[in-house]
Amino acid sequence: MHNSFGNIFKITTFGESHGPAIGVIIDSVPPNIPIKESDIQHDLDRRKPGQSSVTTPRKETDKVEILSGVFEGKTTGTPIALLIRNTDHKSADYDKIKDIFRPGHADYTYFAKYGIRDHRGGGRASGRETAARVAAGAVAKKILDLKNIYIASYTLAIGDIVAKTKDFAFIEKNPIRTVDPEIVDAMIKKIEEVKAQNDSIGGVIETIVSHCPVGLGEPIFNKLNALLGHAMLSIGGIKGIEFGEGFAAAQMTGSEHNDKFYMDGKKVRTSTNHAGGILGGISTGENIIFRLAVKPTSSIAQRQATVTADGKDSFCEVTGRHDPCLCPRMVPVVEAMTAIVLVDALLLNENK
Amino acid sequence: MHNSFGNIFKITTFGESHGPAIGVIIDSVPPNIPIKESDIQHDLDRRKPGQSSVTTPRKETDKVEILSGVFEGKTTGTPIALLIRNTDHKSADYDKIKDIFRPGHADYTYFAKYGIRDHRGGGRASGRETAARVAAGAVAKKILDLKNIYIASYTLAIGDIVAKTKDFAFIEKNPIRTVDPEIVDAMIKKIEEVKAQNDSIGGVIETIVSHCPVGLGEPIFNKLNALLGHAMLSIGGIKGIEFGEGFAAAQMTGSEHNDKFYMDGKKVRTSTNHAGGILGGISTGENIIFRLAVKPTSSIAQRQATVTADGKDSFCEVTGRHDPCLCPRMVPVVEAMTAIVLVDALLLNENK
Amino acid sequence: MHNSFGNIFKITTFGESHGPAIGVIIDSVPPNIPIKESDIQHDLDRRKPGQSSVTTPRKETDKVEILSGVFEGKTTGTPIALLIRNTDHKSADYDKIKDIFRPGHADYTYFAKYGIRDHRGGGRASGRETAARVAAGAVAKKILDLKNIYIASYTLAIGDIVAKTKDFAFIEKNPIRTVDPEIVDAMIKKIEEVKAQNDSIGGVIETIVSHCPVGLGEPIFNKLNALLGHAMLSIGGIKGIEFGEGFAAAQMTGSEHNDKFYMDGKKVRTSTNHAGGILGGISTGENIIFRLAVKPTSSIAQRQATVTADGKDSFCEVTGRHDPCLCPRMVPVVEAMTAIVLVDALLLNENK
Amino acid sequence: MHNSFGNIFKITTFGESHGPAIGVIIDSVPPNIPIKESDIQHDLDRRKPGQSSVTTPRKETDKVEILSGVFEGKTTGTPIALLIRNTDHKSADYDKIKDIFRPGHADYTYFAKYGIRDHRGGGRASGRETAARVAAGAVAKKILDLKNIYIASYTLAIGDIVAKTKDFAFIEKNPIRTVDPEIVDAMIKKIEEVKAQNDSIGGVIETIVSHCPVGLGEPIFNKLNALLGHAMLSIGGIKGIEFGEGFAAAQMTGSEHNDKFYMDGKKVRTSTNHAGGILGGISTGENIIFRLAVKPTSSIAQRQATVTADGKDSFCEVTGRHDPCLCPRMVPVVEAMTAIVLVDALLLNENK
């Protein structure tokens, strides 16, 4: 199993949902970047469970500790190790699924691949692993801050309810992390409805990167969109990604889709941005835009047909404490992975 | 610029559209696999220009030469180098775009990133680079053949015309490489229409992998879907990818989307396949299914606003010989990259 | 700064000498390997300071904690994170060298490269980093145990005193970790002499790998000897490595140096082993043998000319608690890195 | 089999001794570096066979062709592929060793590892593979030239005859590529003696890098000495490497070995250079110095005991055309690999 991501700015995560701890080592952080535990804690708090009625009521403090790489408040260039102890162990909750494969989860595939699994809370396959990514992303964001590169990730849709307007200042003011103040109540209502039915609902997360410099991305296999796609599809529950017009481009003509260039003073700009800020795998300097398909949470408190580890038909009912919709808490994860990809591309780009 | 893809089974491509040659080195090919130049030539012929009225009339012979790694008809475990000489040099066609950035192309971003570019035919950014991928994919497919793993890639849609039925035997019998004999004429007509208007059209390519063993993919950052996403988004012109239900999953509930397990003799199966054959990043043994958004060809023979390399507003008209729709010739590229990802995952999986 | 080593079996270390902790993530550990904290602690205790009169009197408990990857006493295939808290912080000892570069140390080069450094105890450049390697090596050795591959590392020479006989059972019974019971007293005396003079002494460490299977190593750039060389030269203080006859081979003829093959039943053997168990970068099945040149400890309590961080000539006197000879405590580090290289090669080799 | 070397500046070689061609792809070459085929040819001519009475009389033209990555005489940032056709095929020479394992060669280990081998001329294990390295090194040296970094590799010893003085201008003026005009005749005589006896002789190659900037090398696993060690030990026939004092350091005290710092104007220098220009894995700015143990050529025209591929005791006599000493033609290979490591370290270093 490989647990690293990135070429220069590389993160390596570890940890199981119900083991002693999870964490991450971040390699090749440039020296002399100011970083405090509270910077990282801020983002972890945005991802942590129990924030509102639309998320799981589990209580995990997700307190981060910086173990290395920071000296007198600044990075030294050495690897930054971040540790998050697991505290809300209710392993007994999982005893009844010890020998059963939950539909939609990785229980079966892990067992088939490794012949052993830590079944408690999904073990390594738990969404809890993403807390380590968020912690690493907080470090990446400090580097982007110094370059004035800004990432906005937000819930664009819950089920068939889609944001119409985009008020970025609203994102952290509502539990859905959506951008449309007019539509947030309908989204909350939708989630509460499926929750009442012991069910869950999917959604769409959109990300816009602004002030991205031209030139990020390696234009053959490590195109910026390919790296972002890799990063996003490595987040559990993401079923699709599209850039700019995305699947709508399949129905467009070239004369519609091509973004025409013009000079804005000394800067090359495009009059439209159907491409989503990337041409030939390299950032154009326009906003980078992509959307993610988020599947409905697999853990639902309904009786579902399944099989046992020893090969018998059976049923399971997942009774733990789960998010009825993944989007609100996944937004910081998407933002973190975007930051990690951008910093990696930035460091490689300066490498000319 | 990084030009390698893969972890164990690694390909490294080289070459510009109008340089002496393009090619690929394939590393970590298992020994004792039978392979002939004609196996590779067969797939190159499927990708090469000039196959029909719906593709570019350019004539490139794309004749492959095996330079190493094969001895007496079998692989030896050493790297396989494949060489394809460029023959249809009409570099003069490109003189007028030497100092201009074509909309939708990588001309501007390459120049901004590297400060120099081989402008002839797009240079390294040319779709011609994908011939090297197809050649490498042919080697990968020989390995999959021995495991009875089969990949079907095909054009699912051209603009708003979508295949309804799936006749896989039909794919190589029609110039669109679609699966629906009822709809192929409408697709051809659509392409000819946009071509007559000096325009182009987008489409959707779908891929189904059958007989895929359970257990492929590394479940954190190198999820099988993340690797496939990386591979597909590294193909120029792909604007999105979705697995299984994909973006439709965003509107589904968990009870709808979860694939229930059942025993089929001693085999664990799912009664539906909304997930597209991958759970937690690991193949389930069900068919792997994904779709790609293909943008309309950027090269269109219309007058378009653009800028020059020295920063002046201008116009360009791309008069070369181009495909009015990328899908027909991109199908073998998608198939090749899918094969490369699967072989890499297979080799890593045997590594337990 | 890159902090990972290995291709498949990959370790990533972190931590500064006087920061909160050091540790390691071990990736791609095969599942179902039995492992206990005490297995790892055993090797850490062999490396830890304060073991005898010939090592530093510093007292570090070096207590390891397994944070992930082990479930009910067995590996699960997920990454194993190991944590060692730093306890014997005497940071104040280092205040006087805060702005000075100690001769023979990495103080100057770190500062020149990164523009900042954690000066306490050498920070990241401290030999303390090797504790993380020893911890990872203990996991690797559990895997080798299951294959009956055995590594013996030992002190071959201290200064000009060289072991003549090789009693492997004696290694852990003497503070020098040498193999010759006749010579150990002379070695101890030599070390005590240099220590009394506030000086230090170099030495040679030899390693023999027995029962190594044929076929380990990738024969071009990742030759087994190249990987071992990389690993060994990455240990601070190692100034040279030689395999088999090593530098003596420079004076031999081909007829002397070539190891002739013969059949030992069904096994191909060589009648001599001048090559040190590796031909063309691949293990032959004979014992792998290599020797390392270990420099004298750089920290000596003598007044030495040096310069300050702000570019003035000055003097320093390193008064901390240091090993007068690196060999005794470096033996477990060499053994650990050897184990890590071998497991990586084993896992890659099964990948045919 | 992995055939790549380098982290940023990465080379991937291919080709068998008696296949159609050998070659290399060089990735991440910075753009706008002037490079001509004749630059590369110059170094290939230094490595090619048949240069003098002390090398093999085989005649290979080793004519290089640049296939990509260079446009109008300058690099473009895209991968540079270099092709060298094999011309002096005397495959029949090797028929009699088809089923026999030559002592000292990789015949047995390749066969044991891969179950198949191209036996002609050693196939992939042939020293001929190093021509691809020399070609890549010529590109690396163009980059170092622009930084005024200079590499001198030379034969320091043949058997027990050791150069006493160092006249770098003499290196390319004598067939041994040694540095001592007083000793060259004795070296030639020594080689002719062993050749007359159908035997071969080992030697030592030394390398000095001058004007190396401070700061190259990543200080944990990718120490500059570890990378150089990896590179050098990946050259067939190298049995050891030592930096600075090397194995002599094992007999030194710390007060002798430590290089004291002093200010030379604004530059930090050391008054001695026992360390060989590297501290803590990072270059100090002093000359980098290392020596390599070169084994005697394994191919000797003497009857030697060996075994057959089907497991029978036998004899072999290697009658081809071989170098009686590897050093003269290995010098350009050592220089090339040194250049490749330095450029890689340079590119990574600028990555702060």
Residues of C in contact with A117 (CB under 8 A): 71, 76
Q: Which pLDDT score, from 0 to 100, does residue C113 have?
A: 95
ipTM above 0.95, yes or no: yes
| Residue contacts between B and C (CB atoms, under 8 Å) | 21
Scan residues 96-155 of B and list those with Cβ closer than 8 Å to A: 101, 103-106, 108-110, 112-114, 124-125, 129
pLDDT block averages, 10 residues each, chain B of length 352 = 96 96 97 97 91 78 95 97 87 79 95 92 93 98 97 98 97 97 97 96 98 96 98 98 98 98 97 98 98 96 94 87 93 98 91 45
A303-307: Cβ within 8 A, 24+ apart:
A304/A102, A304/A103, A304/B255, A304/B258, A304/B260, A305/A103, A305/B260, A305/B261, A305/B262, A305/B271, A306/A100, A306/A101, A306/A102, A306/A103, A306/B260, A306/B261, A307/A100, A307/A101, A307/A108, A307/B261, A307/B262, A307/B263, A307/B268
Residue D199 has pLDDT above 70, yes or no: yes
Q: For residues B48 and B328, what is the distance between their CA atoms, to the nearest angstrom?
A: 10
Q: Which pLDDT score, from 0 to 100, does residue C351 have?
A: 46
Return the sign of the alpha-carbon dihedral for residues D221, D226, D232, D235.
negative
pLDDT > 90 in chain C, percent:
88
| Residue contacts between A and C (CB atoms, under 8 Å) | 152
Residues of D in contact with B13 (CB under 8 A): 79
Provide the token pair at B41: 């030539």
Q: Which pLDDT score, from 0 to 100, does residue C89 have?
A: 66
Number of Cβ within a 10 Å radius of residue B8: 21
Q: For residues C32 and B162, what is the distance between their CA atoms, to the nearest angstrom?
A: 49
Q: Between A30, A77, A351, which is nearest D8 by CB?
A: A351
Considering only A96-105, A202-211, C78-87, C252-261, which range has the smallest mean pLDDT?
Answer: A96-105
A351 in contact with chain B, both atoms CB, cutoff 8 A: no
Burial bucket for residue C238 (CB in 10 Å: 0-12, 13-18, 19+): buried
* B30:C352 CB<8 A: yes
Distance of CA D147 to the CA centre of its chain: 22
pLDDT top residue among C16 and B120: C16
Nearest to B71 by CA among D101, D119, D100: D119
For B142, the domain range is 4-349
Q: How far is B48 from chain D (nearest CA, A)?
A: 20
C348 in contact with chain B, both atoms CB, cutoff 8 A: yes
Give D351's pLDDT tier (boundaries 50, 70, 90). Answer: very low
C-alpha distances out from residue C252 to B231, C220, D194, Å: 52, 25, 11
Interface test with A, best of B158, B252, B253, B323 (most A CBs within 10 A): B253
Q: For residues C302 and C315, what is the distance between their CA atoms, to the nearest angstrom?
A: 10
Q: For residues C89 and C97, what is the distance between their CA atoms, to the nearest angstrom?
A: 16
D163 in contact with chain C, both atoms CB, cutoff 8 A: no
A251 in contact with chain D, both atoms CB, cutoff 8 A: no
* A352:D30 CB<8 A: yes
| Residue contacts between C and D (CB atoms, under 8 Å) | 366
Nearest to D69 by CA among A85, B13, C116, C155: B13
D350 in contact with chain A, both atoms CB, cutoff 8 A: yes
Query: Cα A220–A225–A231 angle (5° rounding)?
Result: 110
Amino acid at C313: D
Indicate the helix (H) or strand (E) that contains A328.
helix A327-349
Query: Cα C67–B226–B279 angle (5° rounding)?
Result: 70
Q: How far is B119 from chain D (nearest CA, A)?
A: 10
Q: Show Cβ contacts of residue A317 under 8 Å, excluding neighbours closer than 6 positions.
A: A301, A302, A303, A304
Residues of C in contact with A95 (CB under 8 A): none
Scan residues 274-313 of D and list those with Cβ closer than 8 Å to B: none
Question: Which 3 state secondary structure label does DSSP give A208?
Answer: strand
The mean pLDDT value for D61-68 works out to 95
The structural domain count of chain A equals: 1
Q: What is the CATH number of the domain that holds B97?
A: 3.60.150.10
* D350:A347 CB<8 A: no
* C108:D279 CB<8 A: yes
Q: How far is B351 from chain C (nearest CA, A)?
A: 5
Q: Between B109, B203, B251, which is nearest A279 by CB?
A: B109
Provide the token pair at B277: 């054959």
B171 in contact with chain C, both atoms CB, cutoff 8 A: no
Q: Which pLDDT score, from 0 to 100, does residue D92 have?
A: 72
Residues of A in contact with B160 (CB under 8 A): 251
State the residue for tokens 């901390």: C320
The mean pLDDT value for D146-152 works out to 97
Q: Show Cβ contacts of residue B341 under 8 Å, excluding neighbours closer than 6 positions.
A: B6, B224, B227, B228, B231
DSSP class of residue D106? Answer: S
Q: Which residue of D has its CA nearest to C352?
A: D114
Give D350's pLDDT tier (boundaries 50, 70, 90). Answer: low
Nearest to D45 by CA among D332, D321, D323: D332
Residue A63 has pLDDT above 80, yes or no: yes
Helices B37-47, B129-146: inter-axial angle, 10-degree rounding: 130
DSSP class of residue D167? Answer: -
* D254:C108 CB<8 A: no
Q: For residues B224 and A113, what is the distance between their CA atoms, to the nearest angstrom?
A: 13
Distance of CA D143 to the CA centre of its chain: 18
The strands making up B21-27's β-sheet, listed across from edge to edge, are B4-5, B10-15, B21-27, B80-85, B64-66
Q: Which pLDDT score, from 0 to 100, does residue B351 have?
A: 47
Nearest to A44 by CA among A117, A127, A114, A132: A132
D351 in contact with chain C, both atoms CB, cutoff 8 A: no
Q: How far is C25 from chain B (nearest CA, A)?
A: 15
Question: Which 3 state secondary structure label does DSSP give D178?
Answer: strand
Quick: pLDDT tens for D235-271: 999 999 999 999 999 999 999 999 999 999 999 999 9
Q: Which residue of C has its CA nearest to B29?
A: C352
Bridge-based pairing state of the strands B203-210 and D161-162: unpaired
Q: Which residue of D has its CA nearest to A30?
A: D352
Q: Under the phi-then-psi rule, with left for phi > 0, alpha for psi from -120 to 50, and beta for the rest, what region is D318? A: beta
Quick: pLDDT tens for C37-69: 999 999 999 998 878 878 877 777 899 999 999
Q: Show Cβ contacts of residue C77 under 8 Å, excluding neighbours closer than 6 positions.
A: A1, A113, A114, A116, B352, C29, C30, C31
What does the radius of gyration of chain A's CA atoms come to, in whole angstroms?
Answer: 21
Quick: pLDDT tens for C85-120: 998 666 677 777 889 999 999 999 999 999 999 998
Chains that touch C (3 or more CB pairs under 8 A): A, B, D
Nearest to B154 by CA among B201, B190, B206: B206
Q: Which residue of D has its CA nearest to C255?
A: D199
Question: Which 3 state secondary structure label does DSSP give A227?
Answer: helix
Q: How far is B348 from chain D (nearest CA, A)?
A: 13
Buried b (16+ CB within 10 A) or exposed e, D91-114: eebbeebeebbbbbbbbbbbbbbb
D77 in contact with chain B, both atoms CB, cutoff 8 A: yes
Q: For residues D192 and D147, what is the distance between their CA atoms, to the nearest angstrom?
A: 40
One DSSP character per residue, B272-330 reads --TT-SEETTEE-SSPEEEEEEEPPPS--SS-EEEEBTTS-EEEE---S---S-SHHHH
Q: How far is C28 from chain B (nearest CA, A)?
A: 9
D9 in contact with chain C, both atoms CB, cutoff 8 A: no
**CB distance A189 to A306 below 8 Å:** no
Q: Between D28, D77, D351, which is nearest A347 by CB?
A: D351
Q: For residues D239 and D243, what is the distance between their CA atoms, to the nearest angstrom?
A: 14
Interface test with D, best of B1, B26, B70, B94 (most D CBs within 10 A): B1
Residue C17: strand pairing partners:
none
Q: Between B104, B257, B271, which is nearest A104 by CB?
A: B257
Scan residues 311-330 of C and list those with Cβ closer than 8 Å to D: 311-313
Scan residues 54-73 of A and list those with Cβ closer than 8 Å to B: none
Give A90's pLDDT tier (boundaries 50, 70, 90). Answer: low
Chains that touch A (3 or more CB pairs under 8 A): B, C, D
* C30:B350 CB<8 A: no
Q: Which residue of D has its CA nearest to B32?
A: D116
Return the sign of the alpha-carbon dihedral for residues B29, B30, B32, B34.
negative
Provide the token pair at A24: 């991450």
Residue A121 has pLDDT above 90, yes or no: no
Q: Which pLDDT score, from 0 to 100, does residue D352 have?
A: 43
Quick: pLDDT tens for C287-319: 999 999 999 999 999 999 999 999 999 999 877
Residues of A in contact with B221 (CB under 8 A): 2-5, 230-231, 234
Give A54's pLDDT tier (boundaries 50, 70, 90). Answer: confident
Which backbone phi and psi does D263 adopt, to 5 degrees? -90, 130
